[in-house]
Structure 1
Amino acid sequence: MKGDIGMHPLLDGIRLVAFDLDGTLVDSVPDLAAAVDDALGDLEMPAPGERKVRDWVGNGSMVLIERALRDTQGRDADPELCRQAHDRFLVHYAQRPCSATRLYPGVREALDALRGTGRILVLVTNKPEAFIAPILEHFELGGHFSLCLGGDSLVRRKPDPLPLTHAAERFAVPPSSCLMVGDSRHDIAAGRAAGFRTLAVPYGYNHGEPVAASGPDGVVESLKELV
């Protein structure tokens, strides 16, 4: 690729880079936690708060709500209650998806540089697709990605490899020329199953576990290290 001098060795031969969103590009927990707290408040349940929510994110919004209800009730909630709470969560989160969400240091520089090399950048997140564009537009990053896939875009989501293989096939890039960048074991598992190289960042959300234990091909403290 053009302009590769000085770039991370894991980028050698890579034509497509897939990024996770929450915990990798942005810290969205403050806004997610506020929406969870408000949703449970609507159902007259105690708010779990940001500290707990930080360990629950990463598997999609319904799983987030299921974990919140399990914590509040001490048992698995019935499906109808989960649906009600999830509906309220979506309403509250849609009202303010970017109030306190922040871009991690080095993200903008990395995305700018990678786009400048001509690589294809895609976003693969388990967040509902409807919330992707507002967040990217808030940070003026919408134009960086050639494809954005949410947790409800396809029939399966990470850690299933389908979103990654779908992206590779969409742009006719062999998996061996693709890299998955994420913060959790689900990102690493999806990337490995898809035949991608994998790169992890340690500052995100991995249910309190070190992401290096998932065996990524590399770990960087900041995405700026890629470029």
Structure 2
Amino acid sequence: MYNGDLSQIELVQFDLDGTLIDSMPQLWQAVNQMLIESGHSSVEEQSVRHWVGNGADMLVQRALTHALGQAPVAAEQEAARLLFDAAYEDVASHEILLYPGVSDTLRRLHQAGKTLALVTNKPSRFVPAILAATGLEEYFSQVLGGDSLAEKKPHPAPLLHVCETLNISPEHSIMVGDSENDVLSAKAAGMAAVGLTYGYNYGKDIADSQPDWVMSDISSLLELLLPNEHKEHLNG
């Protein structure tokens, strides 16, 4: 568990899906459109919820494996991925839901001088429109998608790349996410991790991944990282 000085945390890196936004309605719609156009039956939202977290390729692979009863061959995977991308692009930034407290938390961390970055396994082509639609784009000094580098979470490379680019050491950074991928990536990068309980984690308890802190409300970050400002806000 974390035994450093929280006042030295300069950089807060965030996951996107299941952490800042509830993108499940859009992902579910896109997966079902892909399955139907591939000649398969649609699925319930709960199934898709358990398939999200490792990027679009794995999401498509899991959906096809469910539909076929076996792993898809390369041609099936490639064709389905194209269908998914087209379907998701149509809906990705429509009626996006922010989780409670997200806008206020990002705004107050940013105003307090913290550097914020976004590290998602979502393909980067979809991210700008989502950030623009939610009004979050102004808060992030750097944004990485799942295809921005050769590796994605749970590999530490994306988190370390952000640290290197922004010239902030990993021990002065913290990762905030809803999935074991976020926690594993942070641990491998040598930084602290916050696990959120409300997102998508394959049906598992995020506490099982042993993040340094488990939170049910993203606003709790303010109490953790800005204790003095948080007290003033509550008293003000």
Q: Shorter-chain-normalised TM-score: which range?
A: over 0.9
Give the superposed CA RMSD: 1.2
* CA shift for structure 1 position 48: 1.6
| Preserved CA contact (<8 Å) 2:96 2:133 | no
Aligned to 1:186: 181
Moved over 3 A (4+): none
For residue 159 of structure 2, what is the aligned residue in structure 1? 164
Aligned to 1:216: 211
Instruction: Give the TM-score taking structure 1 as reference length.
Output: 0.94
TM-score by length of 2: 0.90
In terms of fraction of residues, the more helix-rich structure is 2
Question: Identity rate of aligned residues, in percent?
Answer: 41
- Alpha-carbon contact 1:19-1:123 (below 8 Å) kept: yes
> Which has the larger displacement, 36-45 or 53-62?
36-45
User: 1:101 Cα deviation (Å)?
Assistant: 2.9
Offset at residue 10 of structure 1 (A): 7.8
Task: Identify unmatched segments of 5+ residues in structure 1.
Answer: 1-8
Q: Using the alignment, how far apart are the partners of 2:129 and 2:67 within structure 1? A: 30
Give the match for residue 152 of structure 1.
Answer: 147
> Is the partner of 2:50 in helix, strand or coil?
coil
Given that 2:96 and 2:134 are in contact with CA atoms closer than 8 Å, whether structure 1 keeps it comes out as no
Structure 2, unmatched stretches of 5+, are 223-236
Change (3 A) 1:30 1:73: same
Contact kept, 8 Å, 1:10 with 1:218, in 2: the verdict is: no
Alignment length (residue pairs) = 219
CA positional deviation for 1:99: 2.7
The one-letter amino acid paired with 1:216 is P
- The equivalent of 1:23 in structure 2 is 18
How far did residue 98 of structure 1 move? 2.6
| One-letter code aligned to 1:44 | G
Q: Which amino acid in 2 is paired with 1:26?
A: I
2:51 partner SS? coil
Tell me what 1:4 maps to.
none
Partner of 2:38: 43
Deviates more, 1:91-100 or 1:214-223: 91-100
1:191-206 → structure 2 map (5 Å cutoff): 191-206=186-201
